[in-house]
Structure 1
Amino acid sequence: MSKTTRATLALKAAGVAFDLVAYEYDPDADSIGLQAAAAIGEPPSRVLKTLMAEVDGKPVCVVVPSDAQVSMKKLAAAFGGKAAAMMKPPAAERLTGFVVGGISPFGQKRKVPTAIEESALLEPYVFVNGGQRGLQAKLLPDDAVAALGALVADLTM
């Protein structure tokens, strides 16, 4: 497994301090985020999943705790839109340059507006995908928000 990905390069370029944690990725897991949390021994509230969605047809990136579900109504409202929907996996892979299970909010091929669930900022640290399956980056939630220029909002059900 490579420890250098577009995500880790983007984190370094942004001056963000982070640690990498590798784990055994299970492609058959019901929930990639929950499987990652269990594999690294962290609560799901600290292991954030990166989802790609569309608000009024425009792509957005959504980062929420792995045990949470995104409210499409709240997501649309956060970006000042009327309707939101999850992006289909092939479209998400094309847009980000990452494969599903390895999509990071950092280092995506095309920068899109990003929102982070506000509850993540209550954690002392969080994990986000490091840009490949089986790799998590541990960082401060405020650093993630700053480096991504992310909107912080209540996004979950």
Structure 2
Amino acid sequence: MNSTGSDLPKVTAGTNSVAIGAGSNDGGRSNVVSVGSDTQQRQITNVAAGTQGTDAVNLNQLNTLSTTVSQTVQNQQTQINNLGSALQQTDTLARQGVAAATALTMLPQVEPGKTINVAVGVARFAGQSGMAFGASAHLSSSGILKLGIGVAGSNRTFGAGYGYSW
């Protein structure tokens, strides 16, 4: 080492520590290598990429990792947003289905002594409206046929039933 005056290596207060460069100190910490002080920081240049778990990481490695993490987070956020949209659509469809099904249950049966009944039913469930159209008919003194279609949003449901009494 060919240093004089303030360029001389400093004595470190920490055990097993090294302070490199004028004005450098280890701040009293043990088992460290310091190239500056709390008021005078320096860069370490030309550092090779670390290959072992205890090696230092250089900026290129850190930037690569940062880019990878950012892309992964962005991809995850896109998937989360897509899932949220799909859940919202599923929720709307379910509410529409309940509204349409409820409207179908509101269709009255053909009255005793009558042959045919044409009916309309409406319902609302959790912000969704449903409407149903249907008909029921006495096919015989013991049998009734019932048909209906329910509508909610752009969705349709259809039902039919036959009952026989004795």
Fold match (TM-score > 0.5): no
Say which one has the larger Rg: 2
Normalising by the smaller structure, the TM-score range is: under 0.3
Higher relative contact order (CA 8 A, sep 6+): 1
Provide TM-score, normalisation by structure 1. Answer: 0.19
